[in-house]
Structure formats: structure tokens, C-alpha cells
Structure 1
């Protein structure tokens, strides 16, 4: 295949669905660990086209959604300071903290700006030497290289009025935490192709063996996802638990060596809190000692604060794959994209936002979902 639209070919999709139906003789529950994959599954109705015995569980693959409220509260505190220009990607501005969001800070006079790259924030620091410029750096292994490179550039160029508020998280420890939960129902994983493009696949075979679950790297188009599902089902039916790469046009075993070298220089592994899940050991990055001067938490001395999640929001259970968005009583009523209670309704990659956008509004078991 040469062109993107070929990965949405309905004839080939029906062929793959027929092969999945032929392979599946038992009930299986699979989890995609990527918010982009979740949206593609819901947008194209892939979960509804699959045979009834295959259930898709949506995992904690949305970077905005898993950013803990404590970090959001620190962002609000820093952004409100008069000397600060606070820079963020647009999808973080409406994520609720304990007391409002970054839009509220902006409406009250804070200098909050949407940027399209961390390098935009670095340029703001260069051209505004009298201000402190802070970039809100969140996400999985996918976005981390650009943030690492920007911090490296700030140090190399001596731009001392730039810092980053970091909340980077890692996929493999999250998979381990999911599998070790007593409520886990996951029997196989679709791995995020873009994460593996950066990091490669070497971390996943040991996880597949330890937890005895197949793991298949896949992309984001309908045929990518159907092929990933097919391979996972075949493994389950045959009693195998291996890592397979169904996305070889983008993913190699070694990943991107230059990006990984930059990551290992700028970051070091640390424990991280995940919104709605809690602290997962060794599941994130922080700035290494060489770059600690660019850590906004240290520079502005923001400490831990008591956080207050909405009691009506069940986004934590959605992120763990324990419930579908429609099983939350607030979904689509008290909680909508215009008035979100939780991050899974805010982000373009959140499962709740996907269900709302593509009109999956019925409760599970209440009729046509």
C-alpha cells in the first residue's frame, strides 16, 4: 500500500473482519493503549463491527487525561504569577484542576499562551528576557523527544529564563500496573505505534511473557487496527503470548536511536502519579541532574497541594478500562465537552470525548449503543 486512503478500503476491511470472525471461537477482551486508536475505533465503528465475543477495552492512552490534577494545580499556580508567560498546547487549557483551569487563569489576567511546539516557547523566552517563560510538557514517549531537545537547546544557548513543567509518563509500567490490578479483565494488548516508533519494541516481549498476554504493535487506520486485532485473537486462540509488530512501515525493534539518546541525556526515570490511577513506580521521566535548573517545579518552589476531583466523575475507572464512558451517570448530562468534569471529556484523545463526539450516548445494556 502506498496511500493513506488504502488503509480504509472497505473491501479489505470486510475481508479482515471475516478472518477475525473465523478465528474467534471464545470471548476475548482486548485493550488499546492509545487515545488516537480509541478515537479511530469509535469513529469508524470498529468495535461495533467486531463479532460479539470480542470486547474492546479503552486504556489510559490519552496523555492529557492521565496528567494528574496535582500537576494541573501547579500549572495554575505558576501561570497566575505576573512575571510568567505560561505556554501550553491547546488541549491542556480546559483540563480541570482543583479550582478552575488555565482558561480561568487567562481570563483573570494571567499570560497564558497556546503554542504549537516547545520551540515556540523557547523563542518567546529568547525574545522576552525580562519574563519567565514556562512550557507545560506532558505526554507519553511520543512527545518527550521534542521537549527534551528544547531543554537541551535552552542549556546550549544559555536561555536562563526558560523552564518546563514536566509530566511525562511511560507505557510499559502502565501495562504492568493494569495487569496487576485485581479487577483486570484484559487478555491482549494493541500497542501504540507512535510510541514504538520512538522507543522500539524491546521492552514488550518480557511483559508479554511475564503476564502471558499477546501484544501487537499497530497503527491508527482502520485496516491497521483490524489487523492488530486479528493477530491478537489468533495468538489467544492458539495459546500464545508474544509481541508482534503489525506496523513495520513505521516501527523497528530499535526505534529512533537519536531520539532515545536525547531522552537519556535530558531525562531520568522517576515515579509518576497518573490521574485516576495513582502513583505507578518508575512510570515517568523528570529532568536529569544536568538539566535540573530548567525544572519549573524547582524554580517556582511549587509544592504538593491537596487536590479535589469531582465526586461525580468516574474518569479514573474509564482510564483503567474498568467501565465504559456511558456507565458514568454524569456522561452526556452533567459532563459534556463544553462543561467537562474530567480530563477524559476534555481531550481530543479522551474516551469520553470520543463517545460523545460520535454519538455513543446510550448506556450499556439500554438498547442500541
Structure 2
């Protein structure tokens, strides 16, 4: 099984772990606290727990779980606006499945569907386009959600809708970008971060240069990583080597997939369809300048915000977290999921209170799924 078994070899893993321990010991001789490495991507968080890397690495290395995934950082107000659109009788609302159970202040999309709203799970915005073709008398809205990984497919779908002149297709755009929240985290005086594991899938689209500011402006190393155990262990070692050698660079461990300058076709589609919002709200991080994308004026006919007068078109609105929910603190690495008073009590996969327990890449879901009884007992 090429590119899977090669990156799960136990002998190679033991060699990397030994080297990590050696470098961590050398770093530890000059400092008391462990090296704090933040993995930005929720896929990395789940891989770390799935393969037990958090228990295998040297005690001088501590993983800090970052923003994770777009579902995790989606503010409740945007879920409320999705429900508001979906409950219109003329609308067929389409979305990826992982957004269905994220709670809003009144209900989730799953609950709205159970109450009669025409909400359909799709695998691609192209599925939503096909629904628009087949249902010319209905408004088909696609929930455009994701980091740079999913942004190109939505952009290409909008371009296709424009070519076909499909007036009943629109996108509720909630696409967001990764570099800006990293800068916000680095500017937070309460964050103690020594280096980063960079997101592999996002970097396939944008390349490695958007992270240059992390090394140049903040003096922190970042290594773009793959998702197999040896990918992550090698990336940890690369971060540690940079720290030990007192250098800060952007390095690409995932070079077999991630090109230095990204995917030019995807980047061209993004540039054509989207422009930066002045700011966008992130759950747990608040409003972050230029961190969100909106649909350009030339494609306004396909912009659900403009069509239905919701979202930032109607003015931003902030909704506070549910009482006792610590998603924001978990997402920014301030506390572990088990430190949230609701973990395993008021918030479980069956009855989630926050997005981090819902999302397939959420940190709370990872602790619950791979932490076993110990993870749940820690909350009791």
C-alpha cells in the first residue's frame, strides 16, 4: 500500500523517537519548560491521538492543539444564519455532513431538517449545482465552508454557474484562511508557542510561502507536515532541530504532495471569485482582520448573503458561547479538552454542546475517541 505502510514502519518510528528524545534533551539542558509545538490542523490532532504519538514522544515535547478545522471555528451566529436561510420554503439548502450537527443558538441544521426544512448533505458543490439544474423553481444554496483546501472547488462551481447562467444557485460563503489566525495566536501575550506543525492539505493549495511571516516576523519555526505517523514524527524532529540550532525557517516535510508555490489553477480560481473581507469572526478568536473571503461583485448573483440579506451583508452579530462551554479556550490551546467542565458531562458526541465535539477533526472528539476511559474519567 504505497505511501501508507512506508510511513507507518515501526523500526523507522523508533529511530525518529530516539532522535527526538536526543534533541529534546539537548534543548532541555538550556530551559526548564517543555517545547510547545502547535499542530494547526485537526487532521494532525486526530493522527497524533490515533497513533499515540502524544504518549510516545519525549516528555520535553508538548503538543498544543490549534484551530483545527473550519467547523470548529464557525461562530454560532453563522449557524443561526444557515438555519434562517434553510427554513425558507423556496430553498434547498446543501452542506457537507460535518456541519449538520453544529449547534446554533436555536437549533442545528440537523434539527431544522427534522422539523421540515429541505436540507441535503452533499459531497461537493457540484452536487448542489446539479440540484439547481434539476430544480429550476427552487433556490439552491450551498454552504461554502472551509479553509483554502475546499475554497477552489466552490470557486470553480460559482464560475460554472456563471457560465450556465443558473440564477437559482448561490453560495453562503464562509471560507476562511489559515495564516491570519496564526498571526493572531502569535500576537496573543498569553500563548506560549515554540513552533508549528503546518497543515498539509491547505498547503497543497497555497504552498509554503504564506507562512514566511512566522519565521521572519516572529522567529518561530514551522514545518508543513503529512498525516502519517512518520510524517508527524519527522516534522516534530525538524522543528526541534531548528530550535536547537537557533534558526527559524519554513520547511516542507510533505514535499511529495505540497509544491512550494501551491496549485496555480486553484489559486487563479480563488483570486477570480473571491476577495478578502475586512474582518471575519472566528469562534474562540473573535474578529480577525482579512481572515475571511467574500464573493466578488461580478459574481454577486451567486452570493447568498446578498440574495437573502443575511451574514455580513446584514451587519455582523456576535453570539456568546453557551454557558460552561470552553471551545474557545480549547481551540486556542489554552486548556485541554478534559479541562472543560462540560467535557463528557453536558457535551458528548451524542449530545454535543460545542463544535469541537461535533467535528470529525475537533480536539474534543479526538480526546473522546482515542482517550478511552482515561479521557472520560478525567472529566468526571
Query: Does the pair score TM above 0.5?
Result: yes
Instruction: Confirm or deny: 8 A CA contact 2:368 2:376 kept in the other structure.
Output: no
SS at 2:292 equivalent: strand
Instruction: Confirm or deny: 8 A CA contact 1:31 1:190 kept in the other structure.
Output: yes
Aligned with residue 324 of structure 1, among 303, 311, 336: 336
- Residue 184 of structure 1: aligned partner: 191
Instruction: Report Cα offsets for 1:106-125 as digits up to 9, x if no partner.
Output: 11110000001100001000
Answer yes or no: is 1:19 the counterpart of 2:19.
Answer: yes
- CA separation in 2, counterparts of 1:191 and 1:155? 35
Instruction: Confirm or deny: 8 A CA contact 1:24 1:233 kept in the other structure.
Output: yes
- Alignment TM-score, normalising by the size of structure 2: 0.94
Give the deviation of 1:307 after TM superposition. 2.3
Give the deviation of 1:360 after TM superposition. 5.0
* Aligned counterparts, 1:47-196, within 5 A: 47-196=54-203
- Residue 8 of structure 2: aligned partner: 8
Answer yes or no: is 1:292 the counterpart of 2:300.
Answer: yes
Give the deviation of 1:279 after TM superposition. 0.6
Instruction: Confirm or deny: 8 A CA contact 1:217 1:228 kept in the other structure.
Output: yes
- Residue 29 of structure 1: aligned partner: 36
- Residue 353 of structure 2: aligned partner: 341
Give the deviation of 1:312 after TM superposition. 1.2
Question: What is the aligned residue count?
Answer: 367
Instruction: Report Cα offsets for 1:296-317 as digits up to 9, x if no partner.
Output: 1111112345524211110001
- CA separation in 2, counterparts of 1:353 and 1:22? 32
- CA separation in 2, counterparts of 1:208 and 1:193? 18
Instruction: Report Cα offsets for 1:151-173 as digits up to 9, x if no partner.
Output: 11111110010011111111111
Answer yes or no: is 1:279 the counterpart of 2:287.
Answer: yes
- CA separation in 1, counterparts of 2:344 and 2:2? 40
- CA separation in 2, counterparts of 1:106 and 1:170? 29
- CA separation in 2, counterparts of 1:296 and 1:366? 43
SS at 2:266 equivalent: helix
Q: Report the aligned-residue RMSD.
A: 1.6
CA distance change for structure 1 residues 366 and 53 in 2, over 3 Å: closer, same or farther?
farther
Give the deviation of 1:290 after TM superposition. 1.2
- CA separation in 2, counterparts of 1:333 and 1:139? 29
- Residue 201 of structure 1: aligned partner: 208
- CA separation in 2, counterparts of 1:44 and 1:28? 20
SS at 2:72 equivalent: helix
Instruction: Report Cα offsets for 1:107-149 as digits up to 9, x if no partner.
Output: 1110000001100001000110000000001110000000110
- Gaps in structure 1 of 5+ consecutive residues: none
- CA separation in 1, counterparts of 2:145 and 2:54? 29
Q: Which of 283-292 and 113-122 deviates more? A: 283-292
Instruction: Report Cα offsets for 1:1-59 as digits up to 9, x if no partner.
Output: 94311111111111100010011122200000101011000111101111111000000
SS at 2:191 equivalent: coil
- Gaps in structure 2 of 5+ consecutive residues: 29-33
CA distance change for structure 1 residues 361 and 140 in 2, over 3 Å: closer, same or farther?
farther
SS at 2:353 equivalent: coil
Give the deviation of 1:362 after TM superposition. 4.2
Instruction: Report Cα offsets for 1:34-86 as digits up to 9, x if no partner.
Output: 01011000111101111111000000021111112111111010000100000
Instruction: Confirm or deny: 8 A CA contact 2:344 2:376 kept in the other structure.
Output: no
- CA separation in 1, counterparts of 2:80 and 2:341? 26
Aligned with residue 356 of structure 1, among 368, 373, 377: 368
- Alignment TM-score, normalising by the size of structure 1: 0.96
Instruction: Report Cα offsets for 1:205-227 as digits up to 9, x if no partner.
Output: 23211011001011111000000
Instruction: Report Cα offsets for 1:310-350 as digits up to 9, x if no partner.
Output: 11110001111111101111101110011011000000000
Aligned with residue 38 of structure 1, among 34, 45, 53: 45
CA distance change for structure 1 residues 57 and 364 in 2, over 3 Å: closer, same or farther?
farther
